[in-house]
Structure formats: C-alpha cells, structure tokens
Amino acid sequence: MQALYCHLGLLDYRAAHELQTALVHRRRHGELERDLFLVTEHPGVFTLGRRGGLEHLLVSEDFLTGEGIAVIPIERGGDITYHGPGQLILYPIIDLRRAGLSATGYVSRLEEVMLRLAGDWGVTAQRDPRNRGIWTGGKKLGSVGIAIRHGIAFHGLALNVNPSLTPFSWINPCGLTGVEMTSIAAESECEVTLAQAESKLVKHLTEVFDREFREIAPEEIFRFSSSPLCPISPLGPWQSLQ
C-alpha cells in the first residue's frame, strides 16, 4: 500500500492546523486518495488538548506575550504541551478503517516510530502507563496526541530532537506534575540535528506502517488550504483552533 510523505519545513501552528483539517475533509470525501504523512517544525507555541486546562500553565499571560508564545486550544487528545524549533512533528492524515487500525493500535505505532528514532542515537526509551508517548530514565522524550473525524486521524507525534527545553518548565507537561522533559540530544550527548532525524524517519515509517512512501512537494498539498507556504507570524495569546 502506498502513502504520501511531505516535508513542510518550519510552519506556523495555525497554518498547519488549517492544512490538516482541509486534508481530513478531502481524505474523507476521496479527493485525497492516499494517506498523507506531513513532517514539520513549529515556532514556539503551547497547545491545549481536550483534557487541557490553564491550571497546568505555570507562567502568566504577560510573560508569554513577552516571549511571543501563544496558548491555543485544539481538538486533539491529551493536555498541555509545547512545540518549538528542534522538535520533529509528524501529522499523518490517515484513514484508520482502510488501514485496519484501532485508535490505540495507531497510537502504539506512532510510539514505535519514536522509539526507533531514539534508538538510532543509542537512546533506550520505552512506553509508560502514566501517559502515552515515550520516556527514558523517568523523563518524557516524545508525545502523542490525535484526533479522529469520521474515521480519519490527524494531529500525531512530537519528538524532542534538540529543542530548547526551557519552555517545558513553564507548564506541567501533558498535565503531569513533577515530570521533566528531555531530548535525544540531551540523552545521547551527541550533536543531532532535526534534518538528521528526519532523514531516518521514512525508513521507520515504512517498516512500522508497512507502507511504500512517495514524497511530494509542499506546493502539491497547499492547494488544499488558503494558507501560504511556511508562514511564520506572531501569535496572539489564548487563541482557539477548535
């Protein structure tokens, strides 16, 4: 079974969300004939999942305004998390019914992809019953949060390759108190770049999802959205994308 793969580069979170919702609609109605895996990176932003609450945000609105970081409620599962440069983001637009996947089985495959990527740099990670995602030495390394509309899954995974970990100290990550976040770079003590991690991603996706991937250019999919390519704009605080 063939799937599509597209590297979007650094992309404003709002633009990525708009693109995903447009692609979900087209996948559902057959205008997008194959599952599509989007790879991107975001400027700094906090997102609140369906179980999220501002009680897990540990800094003030004025502080975040000064940092140029928004808090955006969205429809994925989970609580509050941070996205920023140096974090590998994967948003599969996937028809779970056609793929023969349950929601939990799909999440497990996303975790497996992250486990294998971490292992490429000698980082031994594992799942943890406290929270979906991957962990190493009691620290969280990667997160998973999905949403499903009419059987089509979107959102996906966020793996910390070499981001600044400071913004994670401004929240209770995933709504968990006393949890420390980490990265592949911090755990491996190697210089690892996002480009290096992305170069290994397709191999793991091919094996874990049993797909043959064909890469397409961003221009081929942005025709589904009104957003321009790679918009990076200041985000106002407390915006909603539900």
**Is 174 an active-site residue?**
yes
Helix axes of 103-119 and 194-209: crossing angle, nearest 10 degrees: 130
Per the residue annotation, which of 6, 174, 190, 230 is the catalytic one? 174
Q: Which residues contact 6 (CB under 8 A, 6 or more apart)?
A: 36, 37, 38, 39, 215, 216, 217, 218, 220, 221
In one-letter notation, the amino acid at residue 215 is: E
Give the three-state DSSP class for 109: helix
At 176, list the tokens. Answer: 């968990």
> What is the number of H-type helices and E-type strands within the chain?
7, 11
Distance of CA 192 to the CA centre of its chain: 19
Catalytically annotated residues? 174
